[in-house]
Chain A
Amino acid sequence: MLAVEQFFVIRGANSRVMLEEQPSREQLLLEIERLRQQVEDLKEEKADLEILLETTAEHSDTVETELRSRAFEAVREGEIKLAQFLEAIPIGVAVLDSQGQPYYVNHAGQQLLGQGVLQLNAVEDLSESYQIYIAGTDTIYPFDNLPIVRALRGENATADDLEIHQSHKKVPLEIWGTPIFDEGGKVAYAIAVFQDVTERKEAEADRHLFIKKLFDLNQNLEKSLDAESELTDAYGRFVPHQFLNLLGYESIIDVNLGDQVQQEMSVLFADIRDFTTLSETMNPQENFKFINAYLSRMEPAITSNNGFIDKYIGDAIMALFSDFADDAVKAGIAMLNILNDYNQHRQGVGYVPIQIGIGINSGSLMLGTVGGKSRMDSTVISDAVNLASRIEGLTKDYGVPLLISQQTLERLRNPADYAIRIVDKVQVKGKSQYVVVYEVFDADSPEILSAKLANLSVYNEAMLLCDRKDFREAGKLFEECLRTNPSDHVARIYLKRCRDWRSLLKGI
């Protein structure tokens, strides 16, 4: 168009010059050709633009389609991956859609259920179709209690009381049901995750069995322990526990022959005076009944004062006490008090009262076990035992019930707590040394106790004079003691001795 316009403008501008001149035919043809070419160019340009537009639009569509399909593929790939994950999970996964139709069962799930996704007529058929039973029974599991059906109702639920009956095996399962909600909050799917709990059930059963065995074992052990402690108790009546404890043992079973220990202890000997005479009046049965009645009364006096009975020798008691001598002396006093009560009882029923003598000595004792393979016993080896026995013998001579040695007196925490007075000196057998012997008279009757205490200084003076062989003066003082306390056997004995010595000396 532009070219045509130009042509006419040129013609106009030159109209005066070319007024008379008509454009030559060649010129016109040229012009037409030029215009034709221009139209062609424009057509081509238009075609180019159309192609360009189409190309661009087409490209746009191609790329868009490609992108969409790629995105779709990516999603699908993601889904496939997720499905692969689900398939690979070693526990069962099953999905119901919102209508209760099985939608998906993973590989492990198919193994456990024995079948995969089934077409059901209704969700009510779920238990029947998958052969789900109440564990240990032939009862079909109520479908609406199934965790996956409960999940369909929007609940989170678990159960482990069900089992799948496959053709030749039963698989106990534990199932968790979880609902999956859509954006509207409605249940879109229900997922069940389940696993075979055969091993766990077996382990549980094993554990129960094990616990029961352990329980039985414990009971047996308890019985054995009871039996052992009964046995130990029984032995304890023959071998004192304290004796074992001193040897460092809990039980007699542990004791070995030859076990021994050395200890500072006090030994108490107690004997029924003139038992032989008494015994002759009774038959054997009465004898034992009497001895046992007596011993069973005496035993608490010893045990309650921390002592233990080492042995009974006929009617005699040998008891041992650790630590200070107070326990032994208090036990002796307690025995005499018990005896007083016992005698009152005896007199009340017409029996003669009995008298006992108690001797106590303290010193180093060797305790140990002696014997052979088949007969073993505990024993005490010590001079202190012999001396205690001898002191006990002296009680008869002096007519007093309780004598203790110098060694025992020295081991009292506070000798002034007791009513004590000197009685004699005895030579230890086989040795040149003398041991002073004292009377403990706390158990005397109140009158005699107070009389002895009142005379104590006079008595002590008399004993001192006697020791110095001043028998005249000593005798006078003993007489004085006897005036206020005529029943003082010791004073009487010494008075007699003083007189005897004097007459003996006179004779010389």
Chain B
Amino acid sequence: MAMEINTEDYQICYDPATATVSFLGSIRLSGPAEYAPIAQLLTQVADVEPTKITLNLQQLEFLNSSGINMLSKFIIEIRKTARVRIAVQGSQSIGWHGKSLRNFQRLMPGLQLDFL
């Protein structure tokens, strides 16, 4: 099971010890089809994690609309199963984090949001 995606523009990796998926760089893929491998990675993580998943976006400089869409759908999915909790870590110095990450709480009111 590939728990890591490495490209020139972005890296996504899963650390089982902390149950954290970290996103780094800029992700500008087009449409759900191109985001499918990332969505799959997240689903796999959700399948193995018993209680809580942390999404570390602190070093995610840029994410386009399809990317936000993909993350939002994942959060809805998790909310439905109501099995695990989600924590999202954003950065204060990256402009879009403030607005867009807060919108995740509209989809999952219990979502833990931290800006570091």
User: In whole angstroms, what is the CA distance A59 to B71 when docked?
Assistant: 12
**Contact status B76-A48, CB under 8 Å:** yes
Q: List CB contacts (< 8 Å) of A42-65 with chain B.
A: 48, 51-52, 54-60, 62-63
B100 contact set on A, CB distance < 8 A: 55, 58-59, 62
**Contact status A56-B76, CB under 8 Å:** no
B72 contact set on A, CB distance < 8 A: 51-52, 55-56
CB distance from A220 to the nearest CB of B (A): 81
Q: Is A66 an interface residue (CB 8 A)?
A: yes
User: In whole angstroms, what is the CA distance A63 to B106 when docked?
Assistant: 19
A56 contact set on B, CB distance < 8 A: 65, 68-69, 72
Q: Is B115 an interface residue (CB 8 A)?
A: no
Q: Is B103 an interface residue (CB 8 A)?
A: yes
User: In whole angstroms, what is the CA distance A54 to B68 when docked?
Assistant: 11
Main secondary structure of the interface of B (DSSP, over half): helix
Supposing A48-B107, A52-B107 touch, asked if A59 and B99 sit within 8 A by C-beta, the answer is yes
Q: Which of the listed residues A55, A57, A62, A66 has the most CB atoms from chain B within 10 Å of its own CB?
A: A55
User: In whole angstroms, what is the CA distance A163 to B62 when docked?
Assistant: 57
Q: List CB contacts (< 8 Å) of B68-104 with chain A.
A: 68-69, 72-73, 76, 95-96, 99-100, 103-104
**Contact status A55-B95, CB under 8 Å:** no
Q: How many residues of A contact B (CB 8 A)?
A: 13
A59 contact set on B, CB distance < 8 A: 63, 65, 68, 96, 99-100, 103
**Contact status A51-B65, CB under 8 Å:** no
**Contact status A55-B107, CB under 8 Å:** yes
Q: What class of interface size applies to chain B in its complex with A? A: 10 to 19
Supposing A59-B99, A62-B99, A63-B64 touch, asked if A51 and B69 sit within 8 A by C-beta, the answer is no
CB distance from B40 to the nearest CB of A (A): 19
User: In whole angstroms, what is the CA distance A62 to B62 when docked?
Assistant: 11
B96 contact set on A, CB distance < 8 A: 59, 62-63, 66
Q: List CB contacts (< 8 Å) of A210-262 with chain B.
A: none
Q: Which of the listed residues B62, B65, B107 has the most CB atoms from chain A within 10 Å of its own CB?
A: B65
Closest to A67 in B: B62
**Contact status B64-A58, CB under 8 Å:** no
A62 contact set on B, CB distance < 8 A: 95-96, 99-100
B62 contact set on A, CB distance < 8 A: 63
A54 contact set on B, CB distance < 8 A: 103
CB distance from A73 to the nearest CB of B (A): 12
Q: How many A-B contacts if CB must be within 8 Å?
A: 48
B65 contact set on A, CB distance < 8 A: 56-57, 59-60, 63
User: In whole angstroms, what is the CA distance A384 to B67 when docked?
Assistant: 126
Q: List CB contacts (< 8 Å) of A9-64 with chain B.
A: 48, 51-52, 54-60, 62-63
CB distance from B49 to the nearest CB of A (A): 22
B107 contact set on A, CB distance < 8 A: 48, 51-52, 55
| Per-residue contact bits, chain B 105-116, to A (CB 8 Å; 1 contact, 0 not) | 011000000000
| Per-residue contact bits, chain B 43-65, to A (CB 8 Å; 1 contact, 0 not) | 00000000000000000001111
Supposing A59-B100, A63-B64 touch, asked if A51 and B106 sit within 8 A by C-beta, the answer is yes
Q: List CB contacts (< 8 Å) of A166-195 with chain B.
A: none
B63 contact set on A, CB distance < 8 A: 59, 63
A55 contact set on B, CB distance < 8 A: 68-69, 72, 100, 103-104, 106-107
Closest to A55 in B: B103
B104 contact set on A, CB distance < 8 A: 55
Q: Which of the listed residues B64, B76, B95, B96 has the most CB atoms from chain A within 10 Å of its own CB?
A: B96
User: In whole angstroms, what is the CA distance A325 to B37 when docked?
Assistant: 121
**Contact status B99-A58, CB under 8 Å:** yes
Closest to B62 in A: A63
User: In whole angstroms, what is the CA distance A48 to B96 when docked?
Assistant: 21
CB distance from B84 to the nearest CB of A (A): 18
| Per-residue contact bits, chain A 474-496, to B (CB 8 Å; 1 contact, 0 not) | 00000000000000000000000
B76 contact set on A, CB distance < 8 A: 48, 52
User: In whole angstroms, what is the CA distance A56 to B64 when docked?
Assistant: 9
Closest to A52 in B: B72
User: In whole angstroms, what is the CA distance A58 to B63 when docked?
Assistant: 13
B64 contact set on A, CB distance < 8 A: 60, 63
CB distance from A507 to the nearest CB of B (A): 148
**Contact status B69-A66, CB under 8 Å:** no
CB distance from B9 to the nearest CB of A (A): 15
A57 contact set on B, CB distance < 8 A: 65
CB distance from B106 to the nearest CB of A (A): 5
| Per-residue contact bits, chain B 14-30, to A (CB 8 Å; 1 contact, 0 not) | 00000000000000000
Closest to A61 in B: B99
B73 contact set on A, CB distance < 8 A: 52
**Contact status A58-B95, CB under 8 Å:** no
27 pairs, CB–CB < 8 Å, chain A vs chain B: A48-B76, A52-B69, A52-B72, A52-B76, A52-B107, A55-B68, A55-B69, A55-B72, A55-B100, A55-B103, A56-B69, A57-B65, A58-B103, A59-B63, A59-B65, A59-B68, A59-B99, A59-B103, A60-B64, A60-B65, A62-B95, A62-B96, A63-B63, A63-B64, A63-B65, A63-B96, A66-B96
Going nearest first, the 5 A-B pairs with the smallest beta carbon separation are A55-B103, A59-B100, A59-B68, A60-B65, A62-B96
Known: A52-B73, A59-B68. 11 other contacts (CB 8 A): A48-B107, A52-B72, A54-B103, A56-B68, A56-B69, A57-B65, A58-B99, A59-B100, A62-B96, A63-B63, A63-B96
